[in-house]
Structure 1
Amino acid sequence: MIKNRFKFKRKDSGQILNIHHTITTSTGELKRIRFLRACFSDTNDFFASVDSRGNCNIFDLKNCDTWVWQNKFLLCSVLKFAPKSTGKIIAGTRSGGLMMLDVATGDLLHSIHPFVAKINNVSFPSSNADIFLATTNTDAIIFNLHNFQQKHRLEYPAAELTIKQMKFLNNSDQIYSIFSNNTIHIWTHDNFQPVERVHPIRVRENFLKNSQPQRIDFNTHMDEDTALRWNVTKDYTRGLISDVCFSNEHMCVATIDDYLMVFDVATWEIMKLIRSPGTPVLHVQFVPIADAPDKMLISLVTLTKDTILLDLNNINEKFCVQEDNTLKVDISKNSAMMAILLRTGEIKMFDTSVFIAKLKIQDKTSDEDIICQQQWNGVNDKIRKILPPHRLQQILKEYLEYPSDYRPVIWKNYLQLPDNRNAFTDLIKKGYHPCVKNYDELYPLNDLSTHRNLKRVVSALAYWSKVFAQCDFIPKFVFPFVKEFDKNLIFCFELIATILLNHGQLWFEFAPLEPFNYLGMVQNILSHYEPQLLKFYVQQNVTSKTFAWSLLQSAFTEVMDEDQWRQLWDHIITNVAEFLIFTVVAYNIVMKDVIMRLDSKMSVERFFEEQNLLDMKRLIRTTYDIMDKCPDKLRPSQYFKKFTPLNEGFYQKFTNFPRSLISAKDKEVEKLMAENRVLNDKLFELEKRQLAWANRLESTLKAEEHTKRMKAVEKAYEDRILLEQDRVAMQRKQLLLYQKQLRDSEQNMVQEARSSVLRRNLLEKESDVELLSKRFDRIRIKDEANLLFAEEDLKVKEMELLVKKYNLDKIGDVGDIPLSVRYQKSIEKLENEIFELEAEMRKVSVFIKVKLPSELKRSFSKSREI
C-alpha cells in the first residue's frame, strides 16, 4: 500500500481538514466522487471513509498518513472500527454482506452474507470486546467478532413492525431498539430478553397536559422548497421518532413533528421538552465534554441539513457548525473532532474545542445580549434624533450617497422598518407561493442561495397581498434588493414592501397591466421638459411602457451598475414618492443625445435593457432640478398619499389595487385550476384506460409474436435435430473408417515391434559374441604370457639346479659325504616339480592348439543360426 502525507489546516471556523475525491474524466472534465460513509476509530487515531466507487480511504490522524485499501467496499451502507483495535474495520453492504479488513496489511479477514436486506448499523458493547450487533430493518443478529459466527438472533413480528434503530447502550452491554410503533425497548445482549419498554409519545402527551414546551428556532435560513417536500412526504407509517441518542444519565428523542425530548434514564420521565416549529430534527448525538460535565451538549442535523451544537441546559446557547448540505455526522470517542459528510460528496473535519469555546463565550454574553439590544434600540432612537429626514437629505445632496457600511441602518431608520420577525416568519412558513413554481426556468441564477431567497421574498409578498402574485414584474423589481441584502431577508422584505406601499402605491391600479395613470404623469412631465424627445418616441412608435415602465419594473438595475444603483436608491428612499417619477424623466433627458441617434423601435427597446455610460452626478442634479421647477399642475404629489411605514407587530394589507377584479381573477383562476384538476383526473383516467388497452394490445401482440417465435423455435429445433442426426451418422462412418485404419496401424505396429525385438536380440547376440571373442583373445594373450613366464621360470629353475649341482659337485670333492646322500631329498623334490611343470606345459600347449579354435568355430556358427 502506498501512503501519502496530508496536513491539518486550522481555520477560524474550526475546520481542520477538507477531504474530497476529484478525478479527471477522459474528456478532461473534473468529476467529484462522493463519499458515502465515514467513521473514527475507538482510539481516535484513525479515520476511515468509503466513496461511491467502493474505495476505502484510511487516515492516520496521528502520523498524518493516508492510503487506500487495495480491495473495494461496493454498495457500502455502514462502516465502523472494531473497538480496542485500531487495525480492523467492519463494513456492511446494501445487499446484506459483512466484511472485516485489516487496515495495516490490507487483508480481508472475514466475509459473510447473513442478511438479504441493507445493513443499517453495526455497534459494539462497552465491556465485551468479543461480540458485535448488526441490524437491518427486519433483522438483528449478534456475531462473534473473531470468527463472525452467529450467536443470537432477535425474534419479533417482522410483518407488523420494522426496526428503525438498534444499538448497544453507552457504557453498557444492554441493547436499545426503536420500532415503527414509537416504542423504545431495552434488551439483554445474551438472549434478547426485554428489560424495559418506553413509549415516548405517550409520555410527551401526558407532559403537555400540564406543561408547555420550550421553543427554539432553527429556521434562520430554511429552504422552503425542502420544507414543502417534507410536509408532503412525512412517513408516519414508520412512527414519529426520527432518532434517539443516549448518554450515561439521559436519553434524547427527536421526532418528525418538531419535538426534542430529554428523558432521565433512571425514571424514564421527561426532564425537558423542546419544540422547533417548522424544523424537525433528523439526527441527534450527545457530545460529552470532559472539563464541563454539567453541559448537556448535543449535535443536531435539522431538516434544512444544518449541523447545530445545542446546550440542552440553556437552549439559547446554540452554534451552527455547517449550513446546508449535511448528510451525516460522526464524532470521535473523545469528542475532540467532528466529521461532517456533505451532500456534495466531500468531508469536513472540525476541532470541536473551537465550538465549545464559542458556546462558552455565548454563555458569558447571553445576559449582555438583552442589554446590547436595548442599547441598539437607543442608538436607533438617537440616530433618528441626530439625523432627521431633512438632515439626511442635506448630507445626501452634499455627498450624493450614504456610506456603504451605514446604508442599511440609514434606510431602515428613514423608512421606519419595524423588524416584525414573527410576522415575517409566519409568511415564510407558508412556503413557496404557486406563482414562483416556474422561477427555475424563468429566472435561472448561478447563485442558488440568491435564487432561493428571491423565491422566498416574492412568496412572502404574494402571501402579504395577492396582487403581487398577479404581476410579472415583481421578481425583476425584487431581485436587486435580494442580491444586495441576501444576508438579512427580513430587512429586504420590509424594505421592498415599504417601497411598494409608498413609491409604488399607484403601480397596481390596473394590475396586472402596467400603471397607465402613473406612466401618463411621466409622459406629461417629459413632454413639458423635452417635447422634442417625446416627439421622437411618437415617431418611432415607442410608448411609455418602454422608456419609463421598463426602468421602474427592474428598479433601474438593467441600466446601471451596482454602485450607481445604490447611489440612486439612496436618493429615492430619502425623498418623497414622486421623486421616482422625476428620476425616470431625468434619465431620459440625460440620455437624450444617445436615444435620438437610434434608428428603430427595437434599438430603443434594447437601449433600455442594457447598461450605458451614465453620469450619475448629472442624473441626480437633473432630477432635483426638474422636481424643484416642476409646475404645480404637473406635480405628481397631488395624487400620492403621505408616507406610510409598516406597522409594528403585523403588516397592514396593501389595498391600492382593483380588488374586485383581482378577486374575480383569483376565483376564475381557482375555478380554472379546479377544472384543470378535473381535466387532469379525466385525462389521467383516459391515459390509464389507454394504457390498459395498450397493455392488453401489447399482451395480445406479445402472445401472437410469442406463438410465432415458438413455432419458429420448434422448426429450428427440428431442423437442428435432423442436422444432428446426419452429423451423427457421418461421424459413425468416420468412426468405422478410423477403427479400420487403427487396426491396420496396430498390425503394422505389432510387426514392426516384432522385427524391432528380433533386431534388438540379434544385435545383443552379436554384441555378446563380440564380447566373448574379445574375452577369448584376452585369455589367449594372458595364457601365452603365462606360458612365456612359465618357460622363463623353468629356465631360471634349471639354471638354479645347474648351479646347485655345480656347487654340490664342488662340495663333494672337498667333503667326505657323497652328494647323492646329502641332497637326496632336494633332488627328488626338484624332479617332482620339473615333472609337474612339464605336464602343465603340455596341457596348455594342447589347449591352445586344439581346443580354442573349435570353441570359436562353434560360437560363430551359433550366431549365424540366430
Structure 2
Amino acid sequence: MEKQPNEDEGEEQSENDEFEDDLQLETSSQDLDTEDEMIPSKLNILPSMPSDDAPMRKYSFKLKHDESGNILTVHHTVKEDGQLLRIQIAACCFSDQSNKLVVIDKRGNIFVFDFVRKRYWRLSIRMPKAKLIRPSPLHRNDYIVGNKLGQIYTIDVDNSIVSTCGEVCSGSIEELSWSSSLKRSRKYTTLMRFGREAVLVNLETLRVSHQLEFDESRYTLKFAGYLPNSDQFLTCFTNDSLHVWSTHSLGTLRSALPIKARDRRLRLLSAGKSVPEITLRGPIDSDVEHELAFECQDHDFADGLLLGYCFTPDGNKLCLSTLDSYFLMLSTASFDLEKIYRLSDFVLKTMAFLVQPKERILFGITGRNQAVMLDLAHTDQKLIVQRSNATSLSLSRDGKLLSIISKCGEVNVWSTCSLFNALQAQTNCISKLKCTIKQLPPLPTCTVSGCMNQEVRHLLKRDRLKAMIKEYGCYPEKYRFLIWTSLLEIPCNGSQFQSLIKLGTPQNVRNQGRNLQIQNDAHRRGVIKVWGCLSQWCKVIAYANFMPHLIYPFVKQFPKNGLVAFEVLVTLILNHFQLWFEFHPLPPSNYLAMCENLLQRSDEMLCKYYKSLEVTPKEYAWSMLSNAFAEVLEEQQWLILWDNIVTEQTFFPIFLVVAYNLIQREIILRLPDKQAIVAFFHDQNPVDMCKLLCKARKLAAKCDPTLHPQRFIQRFTPIPKGVYPKFLKYPSEWIEQQEEQTDQIIKSHQEIDARIRELELEEVKMMERLENGLKQEEHARRVKKMEELYAHTIQREQERLTCQRKMLITYQMEVRKRKSEVIAKLQESEQRRKVMEMEKDIDLLMHTIERERRRHNQEMQLAEDEIHNQEMDLLAQRYITECEGAPLSQKFYDNIQKLSQERDHLQKNLRKMTMEIVQPADSSSQMISPLLAFENSITEILREFSDIISTDRSGA
C-alpha cells in the first residue's frame, strides 16, 4: 500500500486516494528499529516542541462496509531484511469525544486515527514498552501513557509533543483510573496500580502524592480503581474481599465479601428457582467438551476466585466475574448482591457494558480468548464477535465503537450498532425458526449429538428393530448410531457430563494414558477423556487396565461426541458388563464360569482339549470380552456384532463367546500348544458373521434354564434422565485399600525421590568436592611451580639486594667520612665564628673600657684640676696664713712627687695589661685558658680602677 500525501495537500484530493479496508501501516526499516532492539531500563523522554519545518504528514483511509460490523482493521507491518514483519499492538484507546483512536505498537510508534476527517498520522515521538493509554481528563488532545518501567507521560497527539513526564514506580503500570468528578472537584488525583502496589498521583505534575500501603502478610492487592461519580476508590485483595477507601483520609469506609454472599444466596435459593444461565455452546454443536472443559489445574486459585470487574455506564452497579464461572452484579452504594448469572461453559476475563440499553448488553473476553456479546436480559441470546486471539477490548465513551486487540498483532474496530442489530436479527431468526419447527411434524435425524425426540424414539421401537436385525443382520450405516442411542435409551445428560469433566482426570488415568499405543492423537485424547469421566463416575474403572481397550472401539466410532460414547459405555457397564468387576482386579470368574459351563454343555471335547493344555476361560473368553471383540473382528464385523448385542438381551455376549469358540473349534483343535491358542484369540481370524450370530441365538434359545445366564444377569435398565446411577458391583473395600496403598506408595515414592534427590545432591556435592580437590591439587601444583619461580626470582633479587647493600655500606662509609670532615670543618668554622664574635665582643668591650677610661681620665683630670685648684686655694690660704713668704714648690714638693709616682705606676700597669690582651693566641687548644685569664684580668683591672678612683676621691 502507498502512503498518502500531507493533509494540507491531500485536503484538495478526491476520495479516490483513500485506503483499502484493511489498513496496513507501512514504515521503512530505517525509521524503525528491530524487535530485539536494546531499550534502556529507564526512558528519559523530555518534553519536546513541534517543528515548524517538518509538519506531521497525514494520510487518508476509509472505513469498511461489512455486514459483520468490522469497520476497520489496523496492523503494522514493516519490511526488514527482505521479509515482512508484523509488529504487535501494545495498547489503544478512544478519545473522550469518541472521534479518534490512538494506537501504540510494541516498538513505541504512536498512530492517531481521526474518524471524522478520515485521516491518520504518526507522531514523531516514541513510547517504547508502553502498557496502556488513556485520554487525559484535563485537556482534549492530551493522552496519558504508562509503560512497563513504571513511568508515565502526557502526550499531545495534535502537536506530537510530550508535555509532562514522571516516574511513579519500578514495575509495569497495569491500571489507571480517576474519579468522574475530577474536573468539578479540581483535585487532579489518579489511582495507579502496578503489580500488587498502588499509588495516588497528581495528574498535572505526574508526581506521587500518596503511597498506598497494605498488609501484605495477610493478603495482597489484586485490582484497584475509582468508583464512578465519587472521590472513593475500590480495592480487591486475593482473599476476594472488596474495600472502599476515602481519597481524603485514606481510610476504609466499607468492605464486602461477594463470594460468600453469592454462596449464601445459592444455598438459600428455593427448589423451584434457579439462577440465569448463559451458555456459549449451542445444543446442536459437535463434541467440543475438550475445548470447553474447565481444568482446575490450569488456573491458580491462590489469588482467589474474583477474576475481573467493570462498572455499568451509570455507575450504579459493580460487576464481577469469577474463576468458577459466575457473573455477579453488586450495588456500588451498599455492595449488596443483586444479580447472579451462571456461565456454564466459559469464564470472563475482561468486561465492558454498552451504554444503551442500560445494564443489558455486555462485551467480554473469555478464558479461551473469544470476544463475545451477551444479552443479560435474554440469556439465550449471545454473539461471538471474535472467535480467537482476543486479548483486550475497549469501548468508546458514546458506546458506538468497540476496539479489540488480537494476539496476532492487529486491532479490529467494530460498530456496536451493527453488532446489536446482528444480535437482534439472530434472535428474531431463532424465534421464527422455533415457531416453524413447532408447527411442522418432527422428522427423524441421524445425529446423535443431542437428546432424541420422544416421537423419533417411538418410531424406533425395539420390536421393529429386532425384526429389522433378523431380516438384514445389521442396521443401515447412516442410521446405525441413531438406532444404538434409541435402543440403549441414551438420555444425553449434558450438564452432568460437564460436571464429570470439571472434576478432571484422575492421576492414575493420566499416568496410564501416557502409555497408550494409539496413533491418532484425537482418538487417544478421546479415550483418556471418556476413561477419566468413567473413573469419576465409578472409582474401580480407573484401576481396570483393560478399560482403554474396551473404550477405544466406541470412541473411534464417536470421534466428535464424547458424551454419547460415555453414556453408551455407562449403559453397557450397568447392563451387559454388570458382573465384570465383582472380583476386580481378577477376571470376572462368575461371568467366565457361565461361559465355561455353556461351552462344556455344547462341546465337551473342546473343553477337555482346553483343560489338557491348561487353557482357562481367561484365555478363550475374557481376551475377547475385555476389548469388546475388537481384536478378533475387523471394523465392519465389529459394527454388525454390536448391532446385534445392543438389540438382544444383556447376557447375549456370553453366547457370542461360546459361539465363536464353537465355530472356530476345528482351527483351535489343530493348534499345538497353549501359547498358540492364546495368540489365536488376539488375532483377527476369518469368521462368518451370519453363522456366528445364528449360532449364538440358537444357543440362547436351547440353553438349559439351570445354566442360562439370565438367572444371574439382570434385565436391561436404561440411564435415567438427568442423573447417572452409581455402579456398586465391585469390591469397594479393595478399592479403598488400593487407594490407601497407592497413597502410601506415592508417599514412599516421594520419600524415595526426596532421598534420591538428597543422594544426588550429595553425589553432586561429592563430585564438586572431588572436582574442587582436583582443582585444588592442580592449583597447588601450579602454585608450587609459581612459588619456585618466585623463589628463584626472590633469590636473584636478594643477591642483587646484597650487592646493593654492600655498595650502600661503602657509599655510607664514604658519606660518613665526608660528613665527619664536613662536620669538623663546620666546627672549625663555628669556632672561628665564635672567636670572631668574642673578638668582636672584646673589641666592643675594649672600646667601652677605653671610652670609660677616657671618661674617667677626663673626670680624673677635672677632679685633679679641681683638686689642684682647691689645693692651690688651700695652699694659698695656708701660705697666706702660715708662711706667707715661703714658695709653693717647697711646700707641696713631697706630695707632688708622690702623686707623680703613683701616676706613672698606674700608667705602666695599664700599658702592661693592654699588651697582654692584644697578643693573639698561639693554638686552638690553648684558647679557653687565656680567655679566662683575660676575663679575670679585665675584672681585676676594673676592680683596681674602681679602687683607684675611690682612693683618689677619698684622698681628695
TM-score, normalised relative to structure 1 = 0.60
CA distance in 2, matches of 1:131, 1:307: 33
The within-5 A match list for 1:148-227 is 150-160=206-216, 162-167=220-225, 176-180=234-238, 182-185=241-244, 197-201=254-258, 214-215=274-275, 221=289, 227=295
Equivalent pair of 2:527/2:555 in contact (CA under 8 Å): yes
Counterpart of 1:328 in structure 2 is 391
| In 2: Cα distance, 1:478 partner to 1:471 partner | 11
Report Cα offsets for 1:572-607 as digits up to 9, x if no partner: 212223443455567778899999999999898788
- Show the counterpart of 1:311: 375
Tell me whether 1:228 sits opposite 2:296 in the alignment. Answer: yes
Counterpart residue number, 2:540? 467
Structure 1 CA distance for aligned equivalents of residues 128 and 667 of structure 2: 66
Count of equivalent residues: 696
How much has 1:280 moved relative to structure 2?
A: 8.7
Question: For residue 864 of structure 1, what is the aligned residue in structure 2?
Answer: none
Structure 2 partner of 1:673: 742
Partner residue in 1 for 2:625: 552
Question: In structure 2, how many angstroms separate the alpha carbons of the residues matched to 1:427 and 1:517?
Answer: 31
Letter in 1 for 2:741: L
Query: In structure 1, what is the Cα distance between the partners aligned to 2:711 and 2:476?
Result: 33
Post-superposition offset of 1:245: 0.3
Tell me the equivalent position of 1:436: 509
Q: Distance in 1 between matches of 2:650 and 2:261?
A: 58
* Per-residue deviation, 1:394: 1.9
CA distance in 2, matches of 1:186, 1:117: 23
The answer to whether the aligner puts 1:244 opposite 2:313 as a matched pair is no
What is the CA deviation profile of residues 215-235 of structure 1, one whole-angstrom value per residue up to 9, with x for unaligned ones?
35578747798533268x422
Aligned pairs for 1:26-45 (under 5 A) are 39=92, 41-42=94-95, 43=98
**1:438: Cα distance to partner?**
0.9
Preserved CA contact (<8 Å) 2:594 2:709: yes
Bigger Rg, which one: 2
SS of alignment partner, residue 197 of structure 2: coil
Which residue pairs with 2:844 in the alignment? none
Deviation, structure 1 residue 60: 7.8
Query: 2:320 aligned with 1:253, yes or no?
Result: yes
Partner of 2:351: 285
CA distance in structure 1 between the partners assigned to 2:251 and 2:332 by the alignment:
16
Q: Aligned partners of 2:112 and 2:610: how far apart in 1?
A: 71
Q: Quote the offset at 1:156 in angstroms.
A: 1.8
Q: Quick check: 553-562 or 359-368, which moved more?
A: 359-368
Per-residue Cα deviation, 1:300-323 (whole angstroms, up to 9, x for no partner)? 635x77765443334454566778
Give the partner amino acid of 2:744.
Answer: E
Q: In the alignment, is residue 632 of structure 1 matched against residue 700 of structure 2?
A: no
Question: 1:170 Cα deviation (Å)?
Answer: 6.6
Alignment of 1:301 onto 2:301: no
Corresponding residue number in structure 2 for 1:863: none
CA pair 423-301 structure 1, distance change in 2 beyond 3 A: closer
Please list the CA deviations of residues 283-309 of structure 1 after superposition, one character each: whole Å capped at 9, or x if unmatched: 24133164x44624353635x777654
Instruction: Give the distance between the partners of 1:646 and 1:39, measured in 2 at CA.
Output: 53
**Quick one: distance in 2 between partners of 1:695 and 1:58?**
56
Alpha carbons 1:522, 1:582 under 8 Å: kept: yes
User: For the residues of structure 2 that align with 1:714 and 1:50, how far apart are their CA atoms?
Assistant: 62
CA distance in 1, matches of 2:164, 2:478: 63
Q: Following the alignment from structure 2 to structure 1, what is the Cα–Cα distance between the partners of residues 480 and 607?
A: 36
Answer yes or no: is the 8 Å Cα contact 2:325–2:346 preserved in 1: yes
The amino acid of 1:414's aligned partner reads L
Matched ranges for 1:524-535 at <5 A: none
Structure 1 residues 132 and 210 mapped into 2: Cα distance closer, same or farther (>3 Å)?
Answer: same
Deviations for 1:661-716, whole angstroms, at most 9, x for unmatched residues?
A: x52x3243234234335535654775687689789989999999999999999999
In structure 1, list runs of 5 or more residues that go unmatched: 727-866
Tell me if the contact between 1:432 and 1:456 (Cα under 8 Å) persists in the aligned partners.
yes
1:313-367 CA-partner distances (Å, limit 9, x unpaired):
34454566778x877342443465563757x999999884477237734995899
Distance change in 2, residues 1:222/1:271 (3 Å): farther
Alignment partner for residue 576 of structure 2, among 495, 503, 507?
503
Q: Deviations over 1:188-226 (max 9, x none)?
A: 6xx897896553538668877976795355787477985
CA distance in 2 between counterparts of 1:17 and 1:591 reads 71
Contact 1:335 1:352 in 2 (8 A): no
The aligned counterpart of 1:120 is 174
Mark the runs of 5 or more structure 2 residues left unpaired by the alignment.
Answer: 4-18, 24-63, 282-288, 444-449, 798-956
Q: Are the counterparts in 2 of residues 317 and 363 from structure 1 also a CA contact under 8 Å?
A: no
Return the alpha-carbon distance in structure 2 between the equivalents of residues 547 and 425 of structure 1. Answer: 38
Residue 262 of structure 1, CA deviation: 1.1
Q: CA offset at residue 496 of structure 1? A: 0.9
In 2 relative to 1, CA 240–572 (structure 1 residues): closer, same or farther, beyond 3 Å?
Answer: closer
Give the match's secondary structure for 1:155: strand
In 1, Cα distance between equivalents of 2:458 and 2:348:
48
Using a 3 Å threshold, how does the CA distance of structure 1 residues 444 and 281 change in structure 2: closer, same or farther?
farther
**How far apart are residue 391 of structure 1 and its match?**
0.6
Q: After superposition, what is the alpha-carbon deviation per residue over 1:839-858, rounded to whole angstroms, capped at 9, x for unaligned?
A: xxxxxxxxxxxxxxxxxxxx
Look up the equivalent residue of 2:393 and give its one-letter code. D
**Aligned-CA RMSD value:** 6.5
Identify the residue that residue 952 of structure 2 maps to in structure 1: none
Q: 1:280 to 1:381 in 2, by over 3 A?
A: closer
- 2:16 match: none
Alignment of 1:208-607 (within 5 A): 214-215=274-275, 221=289, 227-229=295-297, 233-235=300-302, 238=303, 241-249=306-314, 250-256=317-323, 259-265=326-332, 268-274=335-341, 281=347, 283-288=349-354, 290=356, 292-293=357-358, 295-299=360-364, 301=366, 309-318=373-382, 328-333=391-396, 334=399, 337=402, 339=404, 341=406, 352-353=419-420, 356-357=423-424, 360-361=427-428, 364=431, 380-403=453-476, 406-420=479-493, 424=497, 427-443=500-516, 451=524, 453-485=526-558, 488-515=561-588, 518=591, 549-557=622-630, 565-581=638-654, 583=656
- How far off its partner does 1:244 sit? 1.4
SS in 2 for 1:438: helix
Distance 1:450 1:56 in 2: 47
The one-letter amino acid paired with 1:242 is L
Query: Any conservation in 1 of the 2:313–2:354 contact (CA below 8 Å)?
Result: no
CA distances 1:141-186 after superposition (whole Å, capped 9, x unpaired): 54769xxx52444422245464422346679997654345622436
Mean Cα deviation higher: 393-402 or 374-383: 374-383
Amino acid corresponding to residue 669 of structure 1 in structure 2:
Q
SS at match of 1:472: coil
Separation of aligned partners in 1, 2:632 and 2:764: 58
2:718 is paired with a residue whose SS is: coil
Does the CA-based 8 Å contact 2:94-2:135 persist in structure 1? yes
Worse-matched range after superposition: 54-63 or 418-427: 54-63
Say whether the 8 Å CA contact 2:609–2:669 is kept in structure 1: yes
Q: Would you say the 8 A contact 1:417–1:495 is kept in 2?
A: yes
Code of the aligned partner of 1:360: T
Could you tell me how far apart the structure 1 residues matched to 2:120 and 2:105 are?
13
TM-superposed CA distance for 1:626, in Å, is: 4.3
Residue 642 in structure 1 maps to residue 642 in structure 2? no
Structure 1 residues 95 and 315: CA distance shift in structure 2, 3 A = same
Equivalent position amino acid for 1:228 in 2: C
Distance 1:594 1:508, change over 3 A: same
Contact 1:523 1:544 survives alignment (8 Å): yes
Select between 484-493 and 238-247 the one with higher mean Cα deviation.
484-493
